[in-house]
Structure 1
Amino acid sequence: MEKQLSSSESLALITEMIKKAKKEAAGDGSFQLLLWGWVIALCNFGHYFLAKSGYEMPYVVWLAVIPAAIWSFVHEYREKRKARIKSHLDELLGQLWITVFSGMIIVLSFMGVLGFNHNPVILILAGIGVFCSGAIIKDKSVKIGGLVLFLGSIVGFLMPMEEQYLVGGIAMILGYLMPGYVLKNKFKSRV
Protein backbone atom coordinates (compact mmCIF):
# COMPACT_ATOMS: atom_id res chain seq x y z
CA MET A 1 0.00 0.00 0.00
CA GLU A 2 1.27 3.45 -0.89
CA LYS A 3 1.89 5.94 1.86
CA GLN A 4 -0.08 9.16 1.62
CA LEU A 5 2.17 12.21 1.75
CA SER A 6 1.31 15.24 3.76
CA SER A 7 1.18 18.56 1.96
CA SER A 8 4.58 19.56 3.36
CA GLU A 9 6.10 16.21 2.31
CA SER A 10 4.61 16.59 -1.18
CA LEU A 11 5.98 20.10 -1.48
CA ALA A 12 9.43 18.94 -0.31
CA LEU A 13 9.40 16.08 -2.84
CA ILE A 14 8.36 18.38 -5.71
CA THR A 15 10.99 20.95 -4.72
CA GLU A 16 13.69 18.25 -4.64
CA MET A 17 12.64 16.93 -8.06
CA ILE A 18 12.77 20.46 -9.54
CA LYS A 19 16.27 20.99 -8.06
CA LYS A 20 17.48 17.71 -9.58
CA ALA A 21 15.95 18.56 -12.97
CA LYS A 22 17.55 22.03 -12.94
CA LYS A 23 20.92 20.54 -12.02
CA GLU A 24 20.80 18.01 -14.83
CA ALA A 25 19.48 20.47 -17.38
CA ALA A 26 22.09 23.09 -16.54
CA GLY A 27 24.90 20.58 -16.26
CA ASP A 28 28.44 21.61 -15.62
CA GLY A 29 28.99 23.39 -18.93
CA SER A 30 32.68 23.77 -18.25
CA PHE A 31 34.07 20.67 -19.99
CA GLN A 32 34.22 22.12 -23.49
CA LEU A 33 35.54 25.50 -22.32
CA LEU A 34 38.29 23.84 -20.31
CA LEU A 35 39.21 21.26 -22.95
CA TRP A 36 39.40 23.72 -25.81
CA GLY A 37 40.85 26.47 -23.66
CA TRP A 38 43.79 24.28 -22.66
CA VAL A 39 44.33 22.70 -26.07
CA ILE A 40 44.15 25.90 -28.10
CA ALA A 41 46.14 27.97 -25.56
CA LEU A 42 48.91 25.35 -25.50
CA CYS A 43 48.91 25.06 -29.30
CA ASN A 44 49.14 28.84 -29.66
CA PHE A 45 51.99 29.08 -27.14
CA GLY A 46 53.71 26.04 -28.68
CA HIS A 47 53.47 27.51 -32.16
CA TYR A 48 54.78 30.86 -30.92
CA PHE A 49 57.78 29.41 -29.07
CA LEU A 50 58.67 26.96 -31.84
CA ALA A 51 58.53 29.77 -34.42
CA LYS A 52 60.66 32.04 -32.20
CA SER A 53 63.23 29.27 -31.76
CA GLY A 54 63.52 28.90 -35.54
CA TYR A 55 61.82 25.51 -35.85
CA GLU A 56 60.82 24.97 -39.50
CA MET A 57 57.36 23.55 -38.85
CA PRO A 58 55.92 25.29 -35.76
CA TYR A 59 52.42 24.45 -36.95
CA VAL A 60 52.99 20.77 -36.08
CA VAL A 61 51.70 21.48 -32.54
CA TRP A 62 48.22 21.95 -34.01
CA LEU A 63 47.99 18.18 -34.54
CA ALA A 64 46.95 18.09 -30.86
CA VAL A 65 43.56 19.37 -32.03
CA ILE A 66 42.75 15.99 -33.63
CA PRO A 67 42.66 13.88 -30.43
CA ALA A 68 40.99 16.80 -28.61
CA ALA A 69 38.21 16.88 -31.22
CA ILE A 70 37.68 13.12 -30.88
CA TRP A 71 37.59 13.42 -27.08
CA SER A 72 35.17 16.34 -27.33
CA PHE A 73 32.75 14.51 -29.63
CA VAL A 74 32.88 11.29 -27.58
CA HIS A 75 32.25 13.23 -24.38
CA GLU A 76 29.27 15.09 -25.84
CA TYR A 77 27.83 11.89 -27.31
CA ARG A 78 28.03 10.15 -23.92
CA GLU A 79 26.55 13.13 -22.11
CA LYS A 80 23.61 13.30 -24.51
CA ARG A 81 22.95 9.57 -24.16
CA LYS A 82 22.84 9.64 -20.38
CA ALA A 83 20.91 12.92 -20.04
CA ARG A 84 17.32 12.37 -19.03
CA ILE A 85 16.38 15.97 -19.71
CA LYS A 86 16.96 17.53 -23.11
CA SER A 87 16.07 21.20 -23.21
CA HIS A 88 15.73 23.54 -26.14
CA LEU A 89 18.69 25.48 -24.70
CA ASP A 90 20.91 22.40 -25.06
CA GLU A 91 19.85 22.16 -28.70
CA LEU A 92 20.43 25.89 -29.24
CA LEU A 93 23.92 25.74 -27.72
CA GLY A 94 24.77 22.72 -29.87
CA GLN A 95 23.64 24.47 -33.04
CA LEU A 96 25.51 27.65 -32.08
CA TRP A 97 28.80 25.79 -31.67
CA ILE A 98 28.33 23.77 -34.86
CA THR A 99 27.92 27.10 -36.66
CA VAL A 100 30.98 28.63 -34.96
CA PHE A 101 33.04 25.51 -35.70
CA SER A 102 31.94 25.59 -39.35
CA GLY A 103 33.02 29.23 -39.59
CA MET A 104 36.40 28.31 -38.11
CA ILE A 105 36.89 25.52 -40.65
CA ILE A 106 36.11 27.96 -43.49
CA VAL A 107 38.59 30.51 -42.10
CA LEU A 108 41.28 27.86 -41.67
CA SER A 109 40.66 26.63 -45.22
CA PHE A 110 41.43 30.10 -46.55
CA MET A 111 44.42 30.97 -44.32
CA GLY A 112 46.51 31.69 -47.41
CA VAL A 113 43.96 34.18 -48.71
CA LEU A 114 44.05 35.88 -45.29
CA GLY A 115 47.83 36.08 -45.43
CA PHE A 116 47.93 33.59 -42.54
CA ASN A 117 46.42 36.26 -40.27
CA HIS A 118 43.62 33.87 -39.37
CA ASN A 119 44.13 33.86 -35.60
CA PRO A 120 42.25 37.14 -34.92
CA VAL A 121 39.34 35.96 -37.09
CA ILE A 122 39.22 32.68 -35.14
CA LEU A 123 39.15 34.71 -31.91
CA ILE A 124 36.18 36.70 -33.23
CA LEU A 125 34.27 33.50 -34.02
CA ALA A 126 35.18 32.01 -30.62
CA GLY A 127 34.12 35.28 -28.98
CA ILE A 128 30.72 35.07 -30.66
CA GLY A 129 30.28 31.48 -29.47
CA VAL A 130 31.39 32.18 -25.92
CA PHE A 131 29.45 35.44 -25.55
CA CYS A 132 26.24 33.93 -26.95
CA SER A 133 26.68 30.85 -24.74
CA GLY A 134 26.99 33.13 -21.73
CA ALA A 135 23.83 34.96 -22.76
CA ILE A 136 21.93 31.69 -23.27
CA ILE A 137 22.96 30.18 -19.92
CA LYS A 138 22.74 33.61 -18.24
CA ASP A 139 26.28 33.61 -16.90
CA LYS A 140 28.09 36.93 -16.73
CA SER A 141 31.58 35.40 -16.46
CA VAL A 142 31.10 33.53 -19.74
CA LYS A 143 29.85 36.67 -21.48
CA ILE A 144 32.91 38.54 -20.21
CA GLY A 145 35.05 35.70 -21.62
CA GLY A 146 33.51 36.37 -25.03
CA LEU A 147 34.32 40.07 -24.73
CA VAL A 148 37.91 39.21 -23.81
CA LEU A 149 38.17 37.11 -26.98
CA PHE A 150 36.91 40.08 -29.03
CA LEU A 151 39.53 42.28 -27.39
CA GLY A 152 42.17 39.63 -28.13
CA SER A 153 41.19 39.68 -31.80
CA ILE A 154 41.60 43.47 -31.94
CA VAL A 155 45.05 43.22 -30.35
CA GLY A 156 45.89 40.34 -32.69
CA PHE A 157 45.03 42.36 -35.78
CA LEU A 158 47.50 45.02 -34.61
CA MET A 159 50.35 42.51 -34.17
CA PRO A 160 52.65 40.77 -36.66
CA MET A 161 51.49 37.26 -37.58
CA GLU A 162 53.97 35.45 -35.34
CA GLU A 163 52.92 37.50 -32.30
CA GLN A 164 49.26 36.69 -32.95
CA TYR A 165 49.89 33.22 -31.53
CA LEU A 166 51.05 34.67 -28.24
CA VAL A 167 47.98 36.94 -28.13
CA GLY A 168 45.76 33.96 -29.04
CA GLY A 169 47.16 31.87 -26.18
CA ILE A 170 46.62 34.64 -23.65
CA ALA A 171 43.11 35.32 -24.99
CA MET A 172 42.22 31.63 -24.63
CA ILE A 173 43.38 31.58 -21.01
CA LEU A 174 41.33 34.66 -20.16
CA GLY A 175 38.36 34.03 -22.47
CA TYR A 176 37.92 30.24 -22.20
CA LEU A 177 39.77 28.87 -19.17
CA MET A 178 38.80 31.49 -16.60
CA PRO A 179 35.05 31.30 -17.39
CA GLY A 180 35.36 27.51 -17.61
CA TYR A 181 36.75 27.27 -14.09
CA VAL A 182 34.14 29.74 -12.81
CA LEU A 183 31.38 27.54 -14.30
CA LYS A 184 32.94 24.41 -12.84
CA ASN A 185 33.05 25.97 -9.36
CA LYS A 186 29.45 27.20 -9.66
CA PHE A 187 28.34 23.69 -10.63
CA LYS A 188 30.20 22.14 -7.68
CA SER A 189 28.47 24.54 -5.31
CA ARG A 190 25.03 23.56 -6.74
CA VAL A 191 25.67 19.83 -6.39
Structure 2
Amino acid sequence: MFKKLLLTAALVAASANAFAAGVTYKLDPTHTNVLASWNHFGYSNPFANFGDVDGTLVYDAADVSKSSVEVTLPLSGLNGFSDKFNAHLRSADFFDAGKFPTATFKSTKVEAAGNGKLKITGDLTIKGITKPVVLDATLNKASDHPMKKVPAIGFDATTTIKRTDFGVGAYVPNVGDEVTLRITTEATAPKADAAK
Protein backbone atom coordinates (compact mmCIF):
# COMPACT_ATOMS: atom_id res chain seq x y z
CA MET A 1 0.00 0.00 0.00
CA PHE A 2 2.80 2.38 0.97
CA LYS A 3 4.57 1.65 -2.35
CA LYS A 4 1.38 2.47 -4.25
CA LEU A 5 1.09 5.79 -2.40
CA LEU A 6 4.71 6.63 -3.23
CA LEU A 7 4.16 5.75 -6.89
CA THR A 8 1.00 7.86 -7.05
CA ALA A 9 2.79 10.80 -5.43
CA ALA A 10 5.68 10.46 -7.87
CA LEU A 11 3.32 10.44 -10.85
CA VAL A 12 1.47 13.52 -9.59
CA ALA A 13 4.78 15.31 -9.01
CA ALA A 14 6.02 14.36 -12.47
CA SER A 15 2.83 15.65 -14.06
CA ALA A 16 3.07 18.92 -12.12
CA ASN A 17 6.71 19.33 -13.10
CA ALA A 18 5.83 18.85 -16.76
CA PHE A 19 3.76 22.02 -16.57
CA ALA A 20 6.02 23.91 -14.14
CA ALA A 21 9.12 23.58 -16.30
CA GLY A 22 9.21 25.06 -19.77
CA VAL A 23 7.23 22.91 -22.20
CA THR A 24 7.25 23.45 -25.96
CA TYR A 25 3.83 23.20 -27.58
CA LYS A 26 2.72 23.13 -31.20
CA LEU A 27 -0.29 25.30 -32.04
CA ASP A 28 -3.36 23.37 -33.19
CA PRO A 29 -4.65 25.22 -36.31
CA THR A 30 -8.07 23.54 -36.07
CA HIS A 31 -8.61 25.12 -32.63
CA THR A 32 -6.83 28.43 -33.21
CA ASN A 33 -8.48 31.58 -34.53
CA VAL A 34 -6.91 34.98 -35.13
CA LEU A 35 -9.82 37.34 -35.75
CA ALA A 36 -9.40 40.92 -36.93
CA SER A 37 -12.24 43.45 -36.66
CA TRP A 38 -12.52 47.09 -37.73
CA ASN A 39 -15.11 49.78 -38.35
CA HIS A 40 -16.52 50.20 -41.87
CA PHE A 41 -17.75 53.77 -42.53
CA GLY A 42 -19.48 53.71 -39.14
CA TYR A 43 -22.04 51.22 -40.45
CA SER A 44 -20.61 47.87 -39.42
CA ASN A 45 -17.72 46.13 -37.67
CA PRO A 46 -16.67 43.27 -39.99
CA PHE A 47 -14.38 40.36 -39.11
CA ALA A 48 -11.68 38.47 -40.96
CA ASN A 49 -10.07 35.24 -39.81
CA PHE A 50 -6.41 34.38 -40.34
CA GLY A 51 -6.68 30.61 -40.81
CA ASP A 52 -4.15 27.78 -41.02
CA VAL A 53 -2.00 29.25 -38.25
CA ASP A 54 1.39 27.61 -37.73
CA GLY A 55 3.51 28.14 -34.65
CA THR A 56 4.99 27.07 -31.36
CA LEU A 57 4.86 28.34 -27.83
CA VAL A 58 6.99 27.65 -24.81
CA TYR A 59 5.27 28.04 -21.44
CA ASP A 60 7.13 27.97 -18.13
CA ALA A 61 4.67 28.20 -15.25
CA ALA A 62 7.48 28.56 -12.71
CA ASP A 63 9.02 31.53 -14.51
CA VAL A 64 6.77 33.00 -17.19
CA SER A 65 9.59 35.29 -18.35
CA LYS A 66 11.15 32.17 -19.88
CA SER A 67 8.02 31.63 -22.00
CA SER A 68 7.82 32.56 -25.68
CA VAL A 69 5.64 32.31 -28.76
CA GLU A 70 6.33 32.34 -32.49
CA VAL A 71 3.52 32.29 -35.05
CA THR A 72 3.22 32.37 -38.85
CA LEU A 73 -0.07 33.40 -40.46
CA PRO A 74 -0.29 32.27 -44.10
CA LEU A 75 -2.34 34.90 -45.92
CA SER A 76 -3.68 32.19 -48.22
CA GLY A 77 -5.90 31.28 -45.24
CA LEU A 78 -7.21 34.84 -44.75
CA ASN A 79 -11.00 34.68 -44.79
CA GLY A 80 -13.27 37.72 -44.82
CA PHE A 81 -16.33 35.46 -45.30
CA SER A 82 -16.89 36.55 -48.90
CA ASP A 83 -14.96 35.34 -51.96
CA LYS A 84 -14.94 38.83 -53.46
CA PHE A 85 -13.73 40.40 -50.21
CA ASN A 86 -11.11 37.68 -49.73
CA ALA A 87 -9.62 38.57 -53.12
CA HIS A 88 -9.65 42.26 -52.20
CA LEU A 89 -7.95 41.64 -48.84
CA ARG A 90 -5.17 39.69 -50.56
CA SER A 91 -4.73 42.35 -53.26
CA ALA A 92 -2.14 45.15 -53.28
CA ASP A 93 -4.77 47.46 -51.75
CA PHE A 94 -4.33 45.57 -48.49
CA PHE A 95 -2.01 42.64 -47.74
CA ASP A 96 -0.49 42.13 -51.21
CA ALA A 97 -0.37 38.41 -50.43
CA GLY A 98 1.29 37.52 -53.73
CA LYS A 99 4.37 39.51 -52.68
CA PHE A 100 4.07 39.02 -48.91
CA PRO A 101 2.50 35.58 -48.40
CA THR A 102 2.75 35.48 -44.59
CA ALA A 103 2.45 37.64 -41.50
CA THR A 104 4.49 36.68 -38.43
CA PHE A 105 4.61 37.33 -34.70
CA LYS A 106 7.64 36.59 -32.52
CA SER A 107 7.61 37.39 -28.81
CA THR A 108 10.43 39.39 -27.24
CA LYS A 109 9.17 39.45 -23.63
CA VAL A 110 6.54 37.66 -21.53
CA GLU A 111 5.45 39.10 -18.18
CA ALA A 112 3.00 38.01 -15.48
CA ALA A 113 0.03 40.39 -15.22
CA GLY A 114 -2.02 38.86 -12.41
CA ASN A 115 -3.60 35.49 -11.78
CA GLY A 116 -3.58 33.60 -15.08
CA LYS A 117 -2.84 36.81 -16.99
CA LEU A 118 0.18 37.61 -19.16
CA LYS A 119 1.50 40.53 -21.19
CA ILE A 120 3.27 39.24 -24.28
CA THR A 121 5.39 41.81 -26.11
CA GLY A 122 6.61 40.89 -29.56
CA ASP A 123 7.39 41.87 -33.12
CA LEU A 124 4.51 41.72 -35.61
CA THR A 125 5.56 41.70 -39.26
CA ILE A 126 3.08 42.47 -42.05
CA LYS A 127 4.08 43.36 -45.63
CA GLY A 128 7.73 43.32 -44.56
CA ILE A 129 7.10 46.00 -41.90
CA THR A 130 7.89 45.04 -38.29
CA LYS A 131 6.38 46.86 -35.31
CA PRO A 132 6.19 46.01 -31.59
CA VAL A 133 2.80 44.99 -30.21
CA VAL A 134 1.61 43.87 -26.78
CA LEU A 135 -0.88 41.03 -26.36
CA ASP A 136 -3.04 40.86 -23.23
CA ALA A 137 -3.29 37.10 -22.71
CA THR A 138 -5.28 34.84 -20.41
CA LEU A 139 -4.28 31.26 -19.63
CA ASN A 140 -7.46 29.23 -20.05
CA LYS A 141 -6.17 25.80 -19.08
CA ALA A 142 -3.03 23.67 -18.86
CA SER A 143 -3.45 19.92 -18.36
CA ASP A 144 -3.07 16.58 -20.07
CA HIS A 145 -5.31 16.53 -23.13
CA PRO A 146 -8.13 14.02 -22.51
CA MET A 147 -8.01 12.64 -26.06
CA LYS A 148 -4.40 13.08 -27.15
CA LYS A 149 -2.90 12.07 -23.78
CA VAL A 150 -0.15 14.70 -23.97
CA PRO A 151 0.31 18.05 -22.19
CA ALA A 152 -1.98 20.71 -23.67
CA ILE A 153 -2.50 24.41 -23.07
CA GLY A 154 -4.96 27.08 -24.16
CA PHE A 155 -4.87 30.89 -24.23
CA ASP A 156 -7.01 33.82 -25.29
CA ALA A 157 -5.38 37.14 -26.18
CA THR A 158 -6.28 40.57 -27.53
CA THR A 159 -4.49 43.62 -28.89
CA THR A 160 -5.23 46.67 -31.05
CA ILE A 161 -3.02 47.77 -33.94
CA LYS A 162 -3.16 50.48 -36.62
CA ARG A 163 -3.38 49.35 -40.24
CA THR A 164 -1.40 52.35 -41.42
CA ASP A 165 1.60 51.21 -39.33
CA PHE A 166 1.88 48.17 -41.58
CA GLY A 167 1.16 49.65 -44.99
CA VAL A 168 -2.41 48.32 -45.07
CA GLY A 169 -4.09 51.72 -44.81
CA ALA A 170 -6.46 51.76 -47.79
CA TYR A 171 -9.58 53.91 -47.28
CA VAL A 172 -8.51 55.36 -43.91
CA PRO A 173 -10.18 57.26 -42.23
CA ASN A 174 -13.54 56.18 -43.67
CA VAL A 175 -12.62 52.56 -42.97
CA GLY A 176 -11.18 52.47 -39.45
CA ASP A 177 -7.42 52.53 -38.97
CA GLU A 178 -7.63 50.66 -35.65
CA VAL A 179 -7.95 46.89 -35.91
CA THR A 180 -8.75 44.73 -32.90
CA LEU A 181 -7.15 41.31 -32.91
CA ARG A 182 -8.79 38.54 -30.89
CA ILE A 183 -6.89 35.29 -30.59
CA THR A 184 -7.88 31.95 -29.13
CA THR A 185 -5.54 29.00 -29.32
CA GLU A 186 -4.96 25.45 -28.19
CA ALA A 187 -1.55 23.82 -28.36
CA THR A 188 -0.20 20.40 -27.51
CA ALA A 189 3.24 19.04 -26.77
CA PRO A 190 4.49 16.59 -29.43
CA LYS A 191 4.46 13.05 -28.04
CA ALA A 192 8.24 12.69 -28.30
CA ASP A 193 8.72 15.88 -26.24
CA ALA A 194 5.99 14.96 -23.79
CA ALA A 195 7.72 11.65 -23.08
CA LYS A 196 10.98 13.35 -22.01
TM range (shorter): under 0.3
Higher helix share: 1
Q: TM-score, normalised by structure 1?
A: 0.26
Q: Work out which structure has the larger RCO, using CA pairs closer than 8 Å and 6 or more positions apart in sequence.
A: 1
Q: TM-score, normalised by structure 2?
A: 0.26
Higher strand share: 2
